[in-house]
Structure 1
Amino acid sequence: MDRRNVTDHEGTVHEGLLNAHTGFLIELACGAGRYKVVHPYEQLDPARLTDAPLSCASCTEVTTAGPSACWHLYVVTRQHAEAILALADRHGYAPGLDEEALRLALLETRAPADRPTRELYPLITEHLTDMLTERALTTHEGTPRVLVEYQRHTGGTVQAPIGIGDRLMYDGTASGLWSIVEVTAVEDTPSGTVVTVCESGRFARRWPADEISSLFFLLDRSPRT
């Protein structure tokens, strides 16, 4: 997540919290809402990004307290996201990023007094997306490098290396078949790198690296230990 100063419609400079891949403005550090800067259904005008110092008193208060101030929206929502990801890892599956999944996870990970309001869900989701993207870009040392597309939940795509335990989805744009497979091996062979996948726990198939890169995309990555 990016933190950039932005100018609102009245000329006040706030600290904005933005999607690092798409530039979408999510919230302001003062909690006033993104519509202080953009109108509904309006994209953020890059001209509103500024290097001018903050003039919003509330944004100034939370940012001058230090980058890790415990009440800063960036920090608070990051802590919630870390708790959700840890919970999902204990359960052995990727965290759900829809609003209901966040609500249920927060019920389990937080005491009633510590549970965030629904208004914080977009920031929590953004942090989760950043954390899962970082995880998607990391494989165990020594794994042959085979790249596939990974679509970020909150927008943007990256090329991510395949690792054992990853779930891939077949790109069924042409065929209409969107099968999900699990990677069981990534190996260098005399004829090139080969990726072995297993569909529904039954059918194992070996794919040359160039074919799997063009036919599959990364759905989610297993927890890294």
Structure 2
Amino acid sequence: MKQSNVTGHRGDIHDGLFNSHTGFLIDLACDAGRYEVVHPYERLDPARITEAPLSCPSCKAANSTDPTAPPHRGRLALEHAKAVLACADQRGYPPPLDDEGLRLAFLALGLEDPPAERLYPLIREHLTDMLTDRALTVPEGIPSVLVHYTRYTGGTLQAPIGVGDRLMHDGIASGNWHVVKVDAVEDTADGVVVTVSEKDWPHPRKWTGPDITRWFLKLDRAPSNA
């Protein structure tokens, strides 16, 4: 997640919290909400991004080193995102990113004071950032094969695949969207070969690196402790 100072409609300078890939304004460090800077369905005017110092009292307090100051919304969201991801890894599933999934995740965590729903977009952005970092990490000793990876909150990247990754067949032309799990990525005399297994299909299949790149999209990387 990116932070940049932005000018609100009333002239106050706020601490803006942005999508790290698309530059979309998600929220503000204060509790005013992003509509203090952009009206509904309005695009952010780049001229509103400024290097001027914060003037919004709540945004200034959120960035204060005073231990009695209210917690910064971005940092608070990060702590919740870390908890959700750790719980998902322990279960061996990718973390939920929709509102209902996040609500259920916090119920599963048993938090006495779960975050308000207004914090969900920031939590989701932190989760997306962490999943993107994980998806882009090249496993040591694994031949590099790149496939399309679409971030949940926007943006498509080229990501390397590794053992345990879930890939989806790109069925735009065929309507075939089956999901496979990567079992091995190996260098051979004929080039890189990727072995995948599919649910309800008894035999693993082998694909060349170029065919995997052409026909598959990456969904997510296996949990770090899987």
Query: Is this a same-fold pair by TM over 0.5?
Result: yes
Q: What secondary structure sits across from 1:211 in the alignment?
A: helix
Q: What secondary structure sits across from 2:134 in the alignment?
A: helix
Aligned CA-pair RMSD: 1.4
Q: What's 2:75 paired with? A: 75
Is the CA contact 2:84–2:106 (under 8 Å) kept in the aligned structure 1? yes
Report matched runs for 1:120-199 at 5 Å: 120-199=119-198
Deviation at 1:199? Answer: 1.2
Q: What secondary structure sits across from 2:63 in the alignment?
A: helix
* TM-score between both structures, scaled by the size of structure 2: 0.94
| Matches of 2:51 and 2:214, distance apart in 1 | 41
Q: What secondary structure sits across from 1:168 in the alignment?
A: strand
Match for 2:172: what amino acid? T
* TM-score between both structures, scaled by the size of structure 1: 0.95
Deviation at 1:160? Answer: 0.7
Q: What's 2:99 paired with? A: 99
Deviation at 1:70? Answer: 7.2
Deviation at 1:203? Answer: 3.1
Deviation at 1:31? Answer: 1.8
| Matches of 2:73 and 2:164, distance apart in 1 | 34
Distance 1:70 1:196, change over 3 A: farther
Per-residue deviation, residues 125-175 of structure 1 (Å, max 9, x unmatched): 111000100110114210111111110000011111100010000000000
Is the CA contact 2:62–2:70 (under 8 Å) kept in the aligned structure 1? no
Q: What secondary structure sits across from 2:50 in the alignment?
A: coil
Corresponding pairs, count:
222
Q: What's 2:41 paired with? A: 41
Q: Which runs of 5+ in 1 are unaligned?
A: none
Is the CA contact 1:70–1:76 (under 8 Å) kept in the aligned structure 2? no
> What percent identity do the matched residue pairs reach?
59
Deviation at 1:110? Answer: 4.2
Q: What secondary structure sits across from 1:203 in the alignment?
A: coil
Q: What secondary structure sits across from 1:194 in the alignment?
A: strand
